[in-house]
A = this chain, B = another copy of it.
Amino acid sequence: MKLRDAPPLETLCWLNSRSDITLEQLRGKVVMIEAFQMLCPGCVSHGLPQAMRVAETFSPDDVVVLGLHTVFEHHEAQGTRAALEAFLHEYRVKFPVGIDQPSGKGGAPRTMTAYRMQGTPTQILIDRQGKLRKQHFGAEDDLALGAQIMSLLREGDIEAAHAAGKTNTQGENCDENGCRLEP
């Protein structure tokens, strides 16, 4: 399988962030994107709470959690920035949330289309090199998600081990990474 670059995020603006966010800036970190709509019950009950747990469990130096408001229905009801701001405030969502750029013709917005998402919630994992590694529509188990994120985090370590060419023993390596094991 040839890995493909994660498409760029085309957004109207970002909330919970002082400046716009691009995937390029985040190279070197694992990125999880939670695509949601504020009036999507599955997003409110499962997707967003899980994304908040990910943001609490992993260090922001390792894993960056982003929300993406991909409005593809009820544009009038949930399409305003004010509505989303109120929603994020009430649900105590602290991570940055981008508003996906409307297509101008109704229907799915641009980033949603570029990723060919099937609906909301959709969970996306991007590795340290900016490659799209997972895209999942619907609910995902915490146990599997935790494993997937750590697998991507550890790839960097493997790369570093190769690059360094050191005869690093397991025992020494473990000590340095002990904190990562117990988030």
Contact = CB atoms under 8 A, between A and B. Distances in A.
Interface of A: 1-3, 39-41, 44-45, 50, 53-54, 57-58, 73-74, 76-78, 80, 82-87, 89-91, 127, 129, 131, 133-134, 141-155, 157-159, 161-162, 165-168, 170-171, 173-175, 177-178, 180-183
A112 B43 CA distance: 29
Nearest to A76: B82
State the main secondary structure of chain A at its contact with B: helix
B170 A155 contact: yes
A99 to B, nearest CB: 14
A98 to B, nearest CB: 18
A122 to B, nearest CB: 15
30 contacts: A1-B175, A2-B175, A3-B171, A3-B174, A45-B45, A53-B141, A53-B143, A57-B143, A58-B147, A76-B80, A77-B86, A77-B87, A83-B83, A127-B170, A133-B181, A142-B143, A144-B182, A147-B150, A147-B183, A148-B150, A150-B150, A151-B177, A151-B180, A151-B181, A155-B174, A159-B170, A161-B161, A162-B166, A162-B167, A162-B168
Contacts of A74: 82-83, 86, 89-90
A41 B90 CA distance: 7
Nearest to A154: B154
A127 B169 CA distance: 14
